[in-house]
Structure 1
Amino acid sequence: MSSLNVKQEKNQAFAGYPLPPAHSNEIDLLSLMEVLWQAKRRIVATVFAFACVGLLLSILLPQKWTSQAIVTPAESVQWQDLERTLTALRVLDMEVNVDRESVFNLFIKKFSSPSLLEEYLRSSPYVMDQLKGAEIDEQDLHRAIVALSEKMKAVDSNASKKNETSLFTSWTLSFTAPTRGEAQKVLAGYIQYISGIVVKETMENIRNQLEIKTRYEQEKLAMDRVRLKNQLDANIQRLHYSLEIANAAGIKKPVYSNGQAVKDDPDFSISLGADGISRKLEIEKGVTDMAEINGDLRNRQYHVEQLAAMNVSDVKFTPFKYQLAPSLPVKKDGPGKMIIIVLAALIGGMMACGSVLLRHALVSRKMEHALAIDERLA
C-alpha cells in the first residue's frame, strides 16, 4: 500500500471524531464589542448626561482658595529704631532680653493661639458680613468661629527637613476661604493683628524691665546710704573717744610734726592731736549728704537719676520679614473642573457599558433557556 493511501486513511479517521464541545465560560470579546457598538447611542447619551452632572457638581461644590505667606525672623534694618532705644538702655547698664529670634518665636506663638484667633474673628468684618442679618446665638457663633479657625494654619517650613541643617528659620502661614479675596484679606489682617500685639507686648516688657531695674537701683542706693550714714555715725563716736584720750594725754598737736615716733592706738587714733581730732570731728558732723564724700555713691546716684529719667516711648517695628506676602490665590484647592467632568464621564461610561452587557447577558440566558425547553418538547 502506498504512502498516499495511508495519509488519506488517517485523515478520514480523524474526521470521524466529534468536535470538542465549546466551554460556556469562554468570553467572546468580538461579540461583546458588537453588543456595545449596537448600543453606542445609549452609551454616548449616558456619558454625556454624567458629564453634565459633573459640570453641575463642579459649579455647585463649595470652592476653597488658600492664601499663603512665608515669614522669617526680622532683619537688623527693620529694627533700627528699636535698636537705638535698646542701646540707650544698655548704656545705663541694663540688659534687655529682647532679640529678633525671641520676638519672632513670640509672633508664631501668638499666631497659633486659638483664643487670639477667636478674638480676631469675632471682630473681623469677614465674619460679621457672613452673619449679617442672621439670628444666631452665642453657641452657634462659637461653633462657626471654631470651624473658621481650623482653616488658619502655621507650618514650620523646615519640619520636613529632618536630616538636613536649615540655613534659616521659616514658617508658612495660610488661610482657606470660599473666595480668593477673602482668603488674602483675612490672612493679611490676622498677621497685622498679631504683629500689633507682639509689638505692644514687647514694648511693655521693656518698660517693665526698666521699672524693675530703676526700683532695684533706687532701693540698693538707699540701703547703701543707710550703711554709709551708720558708718559715719560710728566714726564720729570714735572721734569723740579719741578726742577725750588725746586731751587726757595732753596731746594738742599732731605727734609726727615733732619728730616723735608714737605707736598709735588702732581703735582710737590720737596721732592728729586734740586740735586735729576736733577739726576732723567738726567736718564729719557737718556732712549732710553721703554722696559729698563718696565718689562711688555719687556715680550711682547719677545712674539712678538717669534710669528714672529714661522714658521708653512706643517704637514701631516688625517682628518678622516677609519672604512671601499674603498671596492672592490663582488656583483653588481640590480637583479642578475638568478633572471632575472627566471622572464623571468615565463613571457614566462604565455604568452604561455595564448595564448594556448585563442586559445582553440576561437576554442571552433567557434565549438559551427557551431553546432548551423547545428541544425537550420537540
Structure 2
Amino acid sequence: MENTTASITNNSDEIDLIELLLNIWQKKWWVILFTVIFAGAGVLYALYTKEQWTSKAEIIAPRDYEIANVLQAHLAYARITDSKPDDLNTRLYNSLMTELRSVNSRVDFFKQSALYQRLTADIQTEAGKQGILRNLVNEQTTITWPDKKKEIDYPTIAFSAERPEEAKSTLEAYMRYLNNSVFELERDGFLLEVNNDISGLEFSLARMEERLPLSREIRLETQQKNLERALSTAKAAGIKEFAKTQISEGIIVPELSLGEADIQLADNQLSDNNFLFLMGEKYLQAQIDNVDKIPLIFPADYHFKKTQLTQLKSLLSEQTAEIQDQSFHYQSAPYLPLKRDKPKRALIVLIATLLGGMIGVIMALLMSALELRKKRTKP
C-alpha cells in the first residue's frame, strides 16, 4: 500500500514538473521578450554610462640629484654660516606628505585645474559646482598609505577620470602642484633665514662701525694724557733720551741719560704708565705729536662678518622663483591606464540578460496560473 502511495506521489511530481516546463514553453515568447528587453537595456547602460579609468603613482623620498639646486644652496649657506646642514631630503619628503594629507591643498588644486573648469562649464549653481569639487577631492582622488599587513610599501596616489588620458594628465598636474607647494614653502623659509642672518650681520657691523671710532677716540685721548703726564715727569726728572744696550745674549740694560745714574728696568715696566717717563723727553714728545695719526684698525671679527655678509647677499641674489627640483622620487610614475575600472560591460549585459530571463519565466508562470484559475472558475 505504501509503495503504491509513493509511486503515485512521484508520478504526480513528475507530472507537475512536466506541466511547469510545458507552461513555460507555451509562454516562451514572453520569456524571450523580457530577456531581450533587459539585455538591450543592459547593453545601452553599459555603452552610455560614464567610464572610469584610474592612473596611479608610487613615490619615495627624493634622491640628491633630484634636489640638486636647493641642496647646493643649503650647503653653501652651511659653509658661509659655519653651521651643520640638515637632512634636506627627508625634510622635503615629510613636507610633501603633509601636503598630501591636506584636503585644502587638494581643493585649491582642483579649483584651478582644467578638468574642474571643463566639468563646471555648463553648471550655473554654486551647489552644483561644490558637488563636482567634492567628488573630485574625495571620490576620484585616493591616497593609500604604506601598510605592512597589506604589503603596501610606498604611498600610492591614484586619480580616476572618464578618459585614460585625463586620468594620467590630472595626476601628473596634481603631483606638480604638490611639488611646487613644497618648494615654495621651503624657499620662503630659506629666504627668511638668510634675510634674518643678513639683518643680524648688518646690525652688528653698524654697531661696530659706530662704537670703534668712539672707542679709538677715548683710547687716544687717554693715551695722550698719559704721555703728557709722563713728559712732565721726564722733564722734572731731567730724562732726555732713552736707549737700550744689549750687553750679552738675553740681557738688555736700559741706559738713561742721567749722568752716572745706574738704573736697570725690564721691558714690561717700561710699558706701564707709571714708568713711561723713563722713555725720555724726545720719545714722549714724538709720541704726543703723532698720537692722533694712529689709524683706526677694525678687528678680525669685523672683516669676517663683512665677508660673511657679502657671501650671504650673493647667495640670496642667486635664488630664483623657478622650481627645477623634485621633492619626491617616482617608484612608479603616473601611467596611461589600459583597462577601465568600470563599467564591466560584459558582466552588466550578462546580469541584465539573466535577470530578464528570470523575470520572463516568473511572468510566464503567473500568466499560466491565472489562465488555470480562470478555467477552474468557469461553470
TM-score over 0.5 (shorter chain): yes
| Structure 1 segments unaligned to the other structure (5+ residues) | 1-13
Distance, in Å, in 1 between the alignment partners of 2:346 and 2:37 is 15
Match of 1:4 in 2: none
Give the percent of matched residue pairs that are identical in Structure 1 and Structure 2: 19
* Secondary structure class of the residue paired with 2:318: coil
Match of 1:70 in 2: 58
Match of 1:209 in 2: 193
Distance, in Å, in 2 between the alignment partners of 1:33 and 1:195 is 72
Match of 2:319 in 1: 313
Distance, in Å, in 1 between the alignment partners of 2:342 and 2:190 is 47
Paired amino acid for 1:36:
L
**Pick aligned residue for 1:101 from 84, 90, 106:** 90
Partner deviation per Cα, 1:296-329 (whole Å, 9 max, x = no partner): 3322322222223332233621122222222222
Match of 2:219 in 1: 235
Match of 1:161 in 2: 148
- C-alpha deviation, 1:68, in angstroms: 1.5
After superposition, the Cα gap between the structure-2 partners of 1:249 and 1:46, relative to the gap in structure 1 and judged at 3 Å, is same
After superposition, the Cα gap between the structure-2 partners of 1:116 and 1:82, relative to the gap in structure 1 and judged at 3 Å, is same
After superposition, the Cα gap between the structure-2 partners of 1:144 and 1:288, relative to the gap in structure 1 and judged at 3 Å, is farther
Match of 2:67 in 1: 79
- C-alpha deviation, 1:186, in angstroms: 1.8
TM-score (norm 1): 0.72
How large is the Cα RMSD of the aligned pairs?
Answer: 4.3
Match of 1:325 in 2: 333
The number of equivalent residue pairs is 348
1:205-284 matched pairs, under 5 angstroms: 205-226=189-210, 228-229=212-213, 231-247=215-231, 249-250=233-234, 253=242, 257=254, 258-260=263-265, 269-273=273-277
Asked if the contact 1:229–1:290 (Cα under 8 Å) also holds between the matched residues in 2, the reply is no
**Pick aligned residue for 1:36 from 21, 40, 49:** 21
| Structure 2 segments unaligned to the other structure (5+ residues) | 245-252, 255-262
Distance, in Å, in 2 between the alignment partners of 1:327 and 1:152 is 16
TM-score (norm 2): 0.72
Larger deviation, residues 337-346 vs 77-86 = 77-86
Asked if the contact 2:57–2:335 (Cα under 8 Å) also holds between the matched residues in 1, the reply is yes
Larger deviation, residues 354-363 vs 300-309 = 354-363
1:347-366 matched pairs, under 5 angstroms: 347-358=355-366
After superposition, the Cα gap between the structure-2 partners of 1:128 and 1:193, relative to the gap in structure 1 and judged at 3 Å, is same
- C-alpha deviation, 1:72, in angstroms: 1.9
* Secondary structure class of the residue paired with 1:318: coil
Asked if the contact 1:214–1:308 (Cα under 8 Å) also holds between the matched residues in 2, the reply is yes
* Secondary structure class of the residue paired with 1:136: coil
Larger deviation, residues 213-222 vs 354-363 = 354-363
- C-alpha deviation, 1:63, in angstroms: 1.7
* Secondary structure class of the residue paired with 2:55: strand
